[in-house]
Amino acid sequence: MTNKSVSAIYPSLEDRLVVVTGGASGIGASVVEAFAMQKAQVVFLDVQDGAAEELKERLGAMGAKVPVYYRCDLTDIEWLQRAVASVIERFPAIHVLVNNAGNDARHSVDEVTSTYWDQAMAMNLKHQFFMTQALIPSIRRAGGGSIINMGSISWAIPSTDVPVYATAKAAIVGMTRTFAHILGRDNIRVNCVMPGSISTERQKRLWLTEEYKAEVLSRQALKRLILPDEVARLILFLASEDSSAITNQSYVIDGGWI
């Protein structure tokens, strides 16, 4: 956390069962940590076993509630469904789903083959639908809950170097609004979070060159990089009962870029 003194405690999140996809690193790891610090029981799915174990150890050492890790390649829908079945067997009533995993690998229009399109959609859109589908009975059993889908401002800026990713992220806004209306009668809220440039370890390693950083800061109203835990704090609010009337919405968190 950048500044723990600004972090709210949400009593409604204590002991809540929370599922986070792509929780081993990046924004997802900050989300896992933020929920663990609220004393929620987090289950996270990822493919990075080493990073997952390190996160669990770090949170345990901090005295937070230790999350449970399931290895799952979310692009494999049968694996996803098996993993969710195991999660539900152990934790029958899930309250919160954070559909976070994604991959913003750069690609030009010319490079996009039919196979690439399918892979990028599988990585950035398809698993969000199937995670939601698989968890609906469990969230109903919990008496309702909150689903938060990770979008992006990429389609709204718009970005020109990630056309398939941006298309998937735009679709997440529509999917969010569709599920919000399908699930509203079950007291399940569905919202989307649209981050701008968030300075995760991967972003710093791959894309955040001095040149790109200067461009980001020139576009943002705030002249500093936005951190993963700042996104996590928005997600905590949307997951908590403090946002009990909020559904069907997409929230931009980008330091004032768009």
Ligand X SMILES: NC(=O)c1ccc[n+]([C@@H]2O[C@H](COP(=O)([O-])OP(=O)(O)OC[C@H]3O[C@@H](n4cnc5c(N)ncnc54)[C@H](O)[C@@H]3O)[C@@H](O)[C@H]2O)c1
Could you give the residue numbers annotated as active site? 165
Nearer to ligand X, 93 or 105 (CB): 105
Q: Are strands 145-150 and 17-21 parallel, antiparallel or unpaired?
A: unpaired
The count of chain residues that interact with ligand X, using the rule CB under 6 A, is 28
73 binds ligand X (CB under 6 A): yes
Please report, as residue ranges, which positions from 238 to 257 form the binding site for ligand X (by CB under 6 A).
none
Q: Are 75 and 21 in contact (CB under 8 A)?
A: no
Residue ranges in the chain assigned as alpha helix (H): 26-37, 49-61, 77-90, 114-121, 127-141, 163-183, 201-206, 210-219, 228-239
- According to the binding rule CB under 6 A, does residue 27 interact with ligand X? yes
- Nearest approach in angstroms of CB 11 to ligand X is 27
Rounded distance, CA 92 to CA 190, Å?
20
- Rule CB under 6 A: which of 188-227 touch ligand X? 195, 197-198, 200, 202-203
CB of 46 to ligand X, least distance (A): 4
Q: Which stretch binds ligand X (CB under 6 A): 19-27, 88-96, 156-164, 239-247?
A: 19-27
Question: Contact between 25 and ligand X (CB under 6 A)?
Answer: yes
Interior angle at CA 248, CA 244 and CA 249, nearest 5: 90
Scan residues 99-158 and list those touching ligand X (CB under 6 A).
100-104, 123, 150, 152
* Eight-class DSSP state of 126: I
- Report the amino acid identity of residue 108: S
Type of residue at 136: I
SS3 209: coil
Query: Which residue, 46 or 230, has its beta carbon nearer to ligand X?
Result: 46
Give the chain's length: 258
Which residues lie near ligand X (CB under 6 A)?
Answer: 22, 24-28, 45-48, 72-75, 100-104, 123, 150, 152, 195, 197-198, 200, 202-203
